[in-house]
Amino acid sequence: MDRLWEQVQGALMQSLGAQNFEIWIRPIRLSNLTPHAVHLQVPNRYYRDWVQANYGPTMTDAFGRALGRGVELHFEIASEQAPLLAEADRPPQGSGLASQVDEGEFLEVPPLPPVLDEGRPPTEEVARSHASSTIGVSPDKIFDNFVVGASNQFAHAAALAVADQPGESQYNPLYIYGGTGLGKTHLLHAIGNEVRRRDPSARILYVTAEQFTNELIDALRYRRMSNFREKYRRWPAVLLMDDVQFLTGKDRTQEELFHTFEWLKERGRQIVFTSDVLPREVHGFEPRLRTRCESGMLADMQPPDLETLVAILHQKAADLGLDVTPDVARFLAARVRGNVREIEGLIKRLSALCRLHQAQPTIAFARLHLGNVLADEPHSVDAQEVIKAVASLFNVRVEDLMGSRRQRQLVRPRHLSMWLVREHTDLSFPDIGRVFGKDHATIHHACKKVAGDLPNDADLRGAVAAIRRSLGLA
Ligand code: ADP
Ligand code: MG
């Protein structure tokens, strides 16, 4: 009987497509087989009506072909024995319906029966009826392979908090913003994967703002709005929307997104947005949505410092089975200022070249073969330039930063300049000590202090970003 069901499932997967299959067919159990009838167990009445109306003939056909004779389908409802779902909006726990949809692929949710028409409140049946799955979440972007450093620690912690308690109002929505290639998308997928790991039945939807926009346009054009809303409102327990800066100026999309957001939030569903800019800088961002984002949790991501880049480089090399010594890692990291995506490309190339030449990745080897893709020399600044930039931002005099007066408004920028000099020049702690007229332990202490404060201090991160920009480092 199992073999038969497998065979029929295979045929249905072919004819209905992966997404429809996962949602509607996967949860069905074959409970009995008689010479003239096939008994199938479905989660509830709504499910039965829908499957019967839409896939009944296809299923009858598939069984007929597998058995070599005509049969009738009988649907039995499993949920009639099961207790009713207490929280209609939570995905059913341990329902055995967990399943995975083609990763990265974005497919249509099947059209809805009238019961799901817009404006009607969700019923327990509806909540129950959907097989669990995730859509669009890449399984390889997880918290375990995300390297945490001062520049992304805050966003990482916020993402973890969301994965830990999706829907918690303090973090709803979570809005992650920062430059390109800094790991925003990675964190978004990591949230999805972590929520799923903890609750395999959770319905998680990853989508880019662009996809959302395109699907909305199609839905409007082909009058499939209830279908669209089913997908974005009723279905997901967690909605992960990437790159909302692409919503720019699209009124109808913004409005729909706002209502989608309100709908989800009212029901304790989690929403996470990413963007390359702050909500108020997303041009034409629906004002109410902007306010909601600002009163949720804003988490910025800064370009990683050299240490973090080196750690990321080691991680990526290890993923490829490439052994990179610390000095090679530092050599490479210093030549791809800031952008993690570039590092990834570089390390892939290096790995391929090493295999090709059957060589070890030494600095000389990297210089010889990657010369054309590496920045000539790391973009460097000298200590004086850094100190000047800090002085100008904090509106203090350079002499005061170099001096020893211990006023609060001087100590902070002074520590910051020491840390920045360490980050952006090749000077050692004793070298920096000489610049500031301090011993190396003082410099070391100051750098540690700044590195420790960065994750919890958005103002400080903002200052770092501003100084880096003014120095042409970011
Ligand atoms: P963004 O969405 O901010 O443009 P991505 O998340 O796409 O950036 O990151 C670019 C690449 O760099 C991805 O392959 C991602 O896995 C990797 N990456 C970024 N930050 C980290 C990190 N901290 N640790 C490990 N990999 C990272
Ligand atoms: Mg991205």
pLDDT higher than 50, residue 166: yes
Top-confidence range, 12-16, 302-306, 379-383, 391-395: 391-395
pLDDT at 382 (0 to 100) = 83
Domain 383-470 CATH class label = mainly alpha
Q: What angle do CA 209, 215, 216 make, to 5 degrees?
A: 90
How far apart are the CA of 435 and the centre of ligand 1, in A? 35
What is 121-135 written as a DSSP string? PPPHHHHHHSPP-EE
Q: Tell me the CA–centroid distance for residue 146 and ligand 2, in Å.
A: 14
CATH of domain 135-301: 3.40.50.300
How confident is residue 83, by pLDDT bands cut at 50, 70 and 90? Answer: very low
Query: How close is the Cα of 140 to the center of ligand 2, in Å?
Result: 15
- Residue 24: name the closest of 84, 105, 113 by CA: 113
| Nearest-atom index, ligand 1, CA of 276 | 3
- Which span out of 22-31, 97-106, 376-385 was modeled with the highest average pLDDT? 22-31
Q: Which of 61-70, 72-81, 340-349 is least confident? A: 72-81
How many angstroms separate the Cα of 424 from the Cα of each of 398, 429, 465, 471? 18, 13, 13, 10
For the chain, the structural domain boundaries read 2-77, 135-301, 306-370, 383-470
Using one digit for the tens of pLDDT, what is the confidence trace for 266-298?
999 999 999 999 999 998 889 999 999 998 999
Question: Whose atoms come closest to the Cα of 339: which ligand?
Answer: 1
Reading the block at residue 420, the tokens are 């920045």
The confidence score (pLDDT) of residue 189 equals: 98
Across 217-239, average pLDDT: 93
Query: Whose C-alpha lies nearest to ligand 1, atom 14?
Result: 341
The encoded tokens of residue 463 equal 């200052």
Start-to-end Cα distance in the chain: 63
pLDDT at residue 268, as a whole number? 95
Nearest ligand to residue 146 Cα:
1
Q: What are the pLDDT digits (tens) for 114-158?
A: 333 333 444 443 444 344 478 999 999 999 999 999 889 999 999
Say what the pLDDT of residue 380 is: 64
Ligand of minimum distance to the alpha carbon of 208: 2
Q: What is the pLDDT of residue 188?
A: 98
d(CA 166, CA 182): 23
pLDDT of residue 447: 93
Taking the CA of residue 304 as reference, the ligand 1 atom at the shortest distance is: 23
For residue 96, pLDDT beyond 50? no
The DSSP annotation for 422-466 comes to HHHS---HHHHHHHHT--HHHHHHHHHHHHHHGGG-HHHHHHHHH
- What pLDDT score does 136 carry? 94
d(CA 118, CA 112): 10
Q: Any idea which fold 2-77 has?
A: GMP Synthetase; Chain A, domain 3 (3.30.300)
Listed in sequence order, the DSSP H helices in 84-240 are 124-129, 153-164, 184-198, 209-221, 225-229
Please compute the mean of the pLDDT values over residues 90-104 and round it to a whole number. Answer: 32
Q: How confident is the model at residue 337 (pLDDT cuts 50, 70, 90)?
A: low
Q: How many Å lie between the centroid of ligand 1 and the Cα of residue 332?
A: 17
Q: How far is the CA of 154 from the centre of ligand 1 (A)?
A: 15
Q: Rounded to the nearest whole angstrom, what is the distance from the C-alpha of residue 297 to the centroid of ligand 2? A: 19
Region 208-227: mean pLDDT is 92
Mutate which of 275, 312, 341 to test ligand 1's pocket (most atoms within 8 Å of Cβ)? 341
Q: What is the pLDDT of residue 132?
A: 47
Question: Residue 100 above 60 pLDDT?
Answer: no
pLDDT digits (tens, 9 = 90+) for 352-409: 999 999 999 999 999 888 877 776 555 567 888 899 999 999 999 999 998 888 888 8
Pocket, ligand 1, Cβ cutoff 6 A: 141, 145-147, 152, 180-186, 312, 315, 340-341, 344
pLDDT exceeds 90 at position 165: yes
Res 44: pLDDT: 67
Amino acid at 363: I
| Architecture of the domain spanning 306-370 | Orthogonal Bundle (1.10)
Q: Counting ligands in written order, which one lies closest to the CA of residue 182?
A: 1
Average predicted confidence (pLDDT) for the chain: 83
CA of 76 to the centre of ligand 1 (A): 47
CA dist., res. 193 & res. 141, Å (int): 8
**pLDDT per residue as tens digits for the range 233-259:** 999 999 999 999 998 767 889 999 999
Name residue 33's beta-bridge partners. Answer: 38
Which residue among 147, 185, 186 is best mutated to probe the pocket of ligand 1, counting the most ligand atoms within 8 A of its Cβ? 186
Question: Is the confidence at residue 63, as pLDDT, over 60?
Answer: yes
Mean pLDDT score, 41-68: 81
Query: How many Å lie between the centroid of ligand 1 and the Cα of residue 37?
Result: 53
Q: Say how many Å lie between the CA of residue 258 and the centre of ligand 2.
A: 21
Percent of the chain at pLDDT exceeding 70: 84
User: What CA–CA distance (Å, rounded) separates 141 from 95?
Assistant: 26
Pocket mutation for ligand 1, best pick of 340, 342, 343, 347 (most atoms within 8 Å of C-beta): 340
- Indicate whether 89 pLDDT > 50: no
> What is the per-residue pLDDT across 426-448, written as a single tens digit (0 to 9) for each?
788 888 998 999 998 999 999 99
Ligand nearest to the CA of 183: 1
Residue 414 has pLDDT above 60, yes or no: yes
Distance CA 67, CA 217 (A): 44
Q: Which atom of ligand 1 is nearest to the CA of 152?
A: 23
In the DSSP assignment, the letter for residue 238 is E
Looking at per-residue pLDDT, the higher value among 1 and 5 belongs to 5
Largest Cα–Cα separation, the chain: 95
Pocket test for ligand 1, best of 140, 182, 309, 320 (most atoms within 8 A of CB): 182
pLDDT of residue 84: 31
Q: What is the pLDDT of residue 79?
A: 59
